[in-house]
Amino acid sequence: MGSDEIVYLNEGYEVEGYRIESIIGPYDGYAPVYKAQRIEDRLAVTIAEFLPERIARRTGAYVEPAWGADDAYDVERERFDAEAAALATIDHPNLQPTIERIRSGGTSYRVTARRSGSSLERILKTSVLSQREIVEILDPLLRGLEALHGAGCLHMAITPDAILVLRDGTPLLTGMAGAWTGYLRGLGIEAIPPAKAAPYRAPEFSAKEASYGPTGDIYAFACLLHRAITGQDPQQWHERIKDDRTVPTGARAPERFRDELLTAIDAGLALDAENRPQSVTAWRSLLRPDRRRIR
C-alpha cells in the first residue's frame, strides 16, 4: 500500500491498556510512532506500531498482510518483536527504556517511556556548545551505546534528533525504532536504517551484503560530533566515495578543543569500517585518553 493510504490509529483508540493521543512526526514507511498514555496511572509513553507499508494494510481495527506478502509479513513482524524483546533487557539511565511489547489486532507494538526535554538538534540550532558541554553529553551516551551493543543490538539511527537532553541535564539516547539485533543477523535479515538517518548513515548500512557491527553506530556518532563542534554535517558517504572532500574536524574546530578529541572523531569518520575503532570502548579511550583534561 502507498504511504498516502496509511490509516493511523485515531486519538482515543485503546491498545491493551494504553490510550493513543496523537501521531509523532512523519511516517517512515515501517512503524508509525504515537504519543500515548497508560490508562491505569496516566504514564506518558511512546508506542511504535508494526505497519510496514510495503507488506501490510489495516482493515478496520485489524492489521493484516498485503496480498501475497504473508511470509514477508511474518518474518518482519518477528524482527520487530525480537528487537523489542532485546531492548527490554537493557536497563541504562542514558537509554530510553522499553516498557513492554504487545501483540494485538494482527500486529505488534513497542511501548517506551516518554521523557520531557530538548533534542540535541534543537540545542545545536540555537546554541554553540563548549568542549565541556559536549563531553558532558558525549560520555554518558557512549556508555549507553556500549550497553546497547553489549545486548547484541545496533541503534542504526543516531542523529541529533535521537538525543534528548532532559530537564535535569541527563542525555538520553532515543529513536531506536530501527534497532537491529544479533538475533536478526542469524535469520539473515537485511538491516534497514530509517530514511531520516541518511546524513549520518555509514556506508555498510546501505550495502545489500555487508557485515554490520558497532562501527556503523560509531560512524554516525562521529558525524554528530563533527556537526556539534563545527556547525556542519560532514559530507555524506555516497558523495565521499565519488569525491571525498571531507574537511578534518580540527580544521574547522575552535582552538579550545583538544587535538585528541578531534583526531578521534576523524577516526570514527573513516569510510572503511575496518579503519574505524572496532568498539565503543576502544573509541572512548581515544576520545578521552586523559579524563583529567576534558575541560
Instruction: Write out pLDDT tens, residues 5-32.
Output: 678 899 999 999 999 999 986 666 778 8
Q: How many CA atoms lie within 13 A of 137 on its CB side?
A: 25
Give the residue from 14, 169, 224, 185 showing the smallest Cα distance to 83.
Answer: 185
In order of 50, 77, 178, 210, the CA distances from 58 in angstroms are: 11, 15, 21, 33
Res 239: pLDDT:
82
Res 293: pLDDT:
42
Sheet holding 117-119, edge to edge: 117-119, 163-166, 171-173
Average pLDDT, rounded, for the chain: 84
Asked which of 36-50, 169-183, 259-273 is least confident by mean pLDDT, the reply is 169-183
Are residues 121 and 96 both part of a single domain? Answer: no
Are residues 61 and 153 both part of a single domain? Answer: no
Res 59: pLDDT:
87
Res 3: pLDDT:
41
Cα separation of 205 and 218, whole Å? 12
Q: Which of 89, 113, 137 is the last residue of a domain?
A: 113
In total, how many domains does the chain have?
Answer: 2
Are residues 84 and 188 both part of a single domain? Answer: no
Three-state secondary structure call for residue 69: coil
Residue with grid cell 505488534, as numbered in its chain: 108
Are residues 84 and 129 both part of a single domain? Answer: no
Cα separation of 182 and 162, whole Å? 22
Are residues 37 and 129 both part of a single domain? Answer: no
Give the residue from 171, 173, 189, 172 showing the smallest Cα distance to 181.
Answer: 189
Indicate the residue type of 79: R
8-state DSSP, 256: T
Res 140: pLDDT:
94
- Asked whether the beta carbons of 156 and 216 are under 8 A apart, the reply is yes
Work out the pLDDT band at 87, boundaries 50, 70, 90: confident
Cα separation of 181 and 189, whole Å? 10
Res 294: pLDDT:
39
Domain holding 27: CATH number? 3.30.200.20
Are residues 83 and 203 both part of a single domain? Answer: no
Q: Averaged over 271-286, what is the pLDDT?
A: 93
Residue 271 has pLDDT above 70, yes or no: yes
Res 82: pLDDT:
85
Are residues 104 and 122 both part of a single domain? Answer: no
Work out the pLDDT band at 187, boundaries 50, 70, 90: very low
Q: Between these two residues, 184 and 265, which has the higher pLDDT value?
A: 265
Are residues 213 and 122 both part of a single domain? Answer: yes
**Could you give the percent of the chain with pLDDT greater than 90?**
48
Are residues 107 and 135 both part of a single domain? Answer: no
Q: Which of 113, 133, 162 is the last residue of a domain?
A: 113
Q: Which of 79, 95, 113 is the last residue of a domain?
A: 113
8-state DSSP, 202: -
**103-161: per-residue pLDDT in tens?**
999 999 999 998 889 999 999 999 888 998 998 898 999 999 999 999 888 888 888 98
Are residues 215 and 284 both part of a single domain? Answer: yes
Are residues 161 and 231 both part of a single domain? Answer: yes
Are residues 97 and 194 both part of a single domain? Answer: no
Q: What is the phi/psi pair of residue 58, to 5°?
A: -105, 130
Domain holding 133: CATH number? 1.10.510.10
Q: Sort residue 68 into left (φ over 0), alpha (ψ -120 to 50) or beta.
A: left
Q: Which domain holds residue 80?
A: 3-113
DSSP β-bridge partners for residue 118: 165
Q: Is the C-alpha dihedral spanning 112, 133, 278, 211 positive or negative?
A: positive
Q: Averaged over 234-245, what is the pLDDT?
A: 82
Give the residue from 204, 219, 205, 224 showing the smallest Cα distance to 269.
Answer: 219
Task: State the DSSP H helix or E strand holding residue 57, giving kind and residue range, or none if neither.
Answer: strand 56-59
Which residues fall within 8 angstroms of residue 259, CB to CB, at 6 or more apart? 250
